[in-house]
Copies of this chain bind each other. A is one copy, B any other.
Amino acid sequence: MARPTNTRFALAVHVLTLLAADPEAMHSSELLAASTGSNPVHVRRVLGRLRRAGLVRSRPGPRGGWLVTRPACDTTLADVWRAVTGDDALLGLHSASPDCRVGQRIQRELVEIDRRAAEAVAAELARTTLRDLVRSTDATGAPVGA
């Protein structure tokens, strides 16, 4: 199947924004779950993907938790998207019957179309970094102006 419904990208962006707003501090999955209206296990599952992609680090134990691994301006939303979705088809594909020649060609066309659409999304997402999000969501009273 193509792209199951999920809110993982949104959750990942939300959590990363929180982490990037305070890059030195450890954040526990319980805290992050409370902030995002989710639960600790789900947060750890999603952040596990980001860790595998090298976007965050984690440490168990007391004073453990999660940290971003690099400056907020170096992580784009395209990185986040790739980390959480992998190679899933964006638009959805179907399986044409192998005995229909036209169907097979349409199939190949659809794979191409899906690839181009995914590239378009990645290009658009690459225009926004975590730093942009931290700045536009900073509620601490710090100057927001460019």
Contacts and interface: CB of A to CB of B under 8 A. Distances in A.
A93 B10 contact: yes
Contact of A124 (B34, B120, B139): B120
Copy number in this complex? 2
A41 interface: no
Contact of A103 (B21, B36, B117): B36
Contact of A106 (B3, B14, B100, B117): B14
Interface residues of A, number: 58
Given A105-B137, A106-B133, A120-B124, A92 B36 contact: no
A118 to B, nearest CB: 9
A22 B103 CA distance: 15
